[in-house]
Structure 1
């Protein structure tokens, strides 16, 4: 069994949810209520020449218990930026830096204690929001991105891929105040022969107060092994998160994951 606990703090250098900085596919043009906080990345697109810079800070603890037990601690900082291009399109990117420690024990006795740090992945992509006619239809968002590892230390520590990986994804969002539904599918492939995999996500959430929302979801992927007749199994992650809006520039999102 593997368990992960992640604490995520998002800081933005420009108004994150202000109506004059983003285009929102929504029937409600007032300030974003709480049920939309948890899906801000899915429903908002920056207007032309507007920009956003932010930081994600996360800390996770992974425990894996087999013959030997391993406890991994990962601190990760992710610098993010977005710039609106007009026509419901924006360019986005990110650069991460991580520090990981791994302690392995056997029969309660520590046998190794290792640590690694370095630049993670550089990611660049394009996002396009597709607004469909009809109140009953969901909003669709298409994304194309490329992620490139920036250091051998990050590869060895396991918080980035071995080589570049390109991803194409489609996300559907349906806002049903005070709740929402999100579903998505993606395809990724890279330079290595067996890097291809299909990803999926399904989320449901609702507002608790005007500035507080709860989000429950499952995400996973299925690796496509071209060298085998049958592909590998599906790996999935169950996620629970609470998003609290401190002000228009600061959100706090504690998250719990179970694999």
Structure 2
């Protein structure tokens, strides 16, 4: 399908929108051939087509993290198309991870952990021999909830905590092969997530206006804020960085709390 070349090649899972799309677009701008994935192949192909229209090289593929049968073909089709693999960005989040457990069946809870932890690990191991040959890298998209838990998201917190630990373990295991493995913890990033949940624009605006106060910088981020860090981590400029976990969170993780004072203490009897 494509002429094989020495161009570097990146897979970015769940990259038809949001953070994943921003990462795919930035990598394409930097000369990578990019594999765009979505559960719906038409969306992946659409984004890939837009990247190619701007002079980049891209391939759109259907991929669902919860479907184990999709893992190996994603790597195989990438290598068949471009001849190599240099970067894997594990951005996909399978369903139910952000749903309260009491709203889920036992099978759905099992699926949330299996897809988001087991399958992310398996995809990384499938990419390993190709990354070993190219001395490539992996970037895992985790979350700042691993630093400060957000109430109501227990499954998400456990999953993302596992992704951070996976990052450190694989970085240690694969350093001898020249493979670098790093992670990014985004804070509140303005994406289409609320739209997918059926929320109207007024609710979305109120939500982000509320959540920006969780950030010390008092603003929410945008997908490009995360994409720029991902592009740096896979670049030669970061050749000495592995096992790192970078917070792109506007200060969510380090936001200071006020000391006690008479001014901010409740009145007696309140």
Give the TM-score taking structure 1 as reference length.
0.31
Larger strand percent:
1
Give the TM-score taking structure 2 as reference length.
0.30
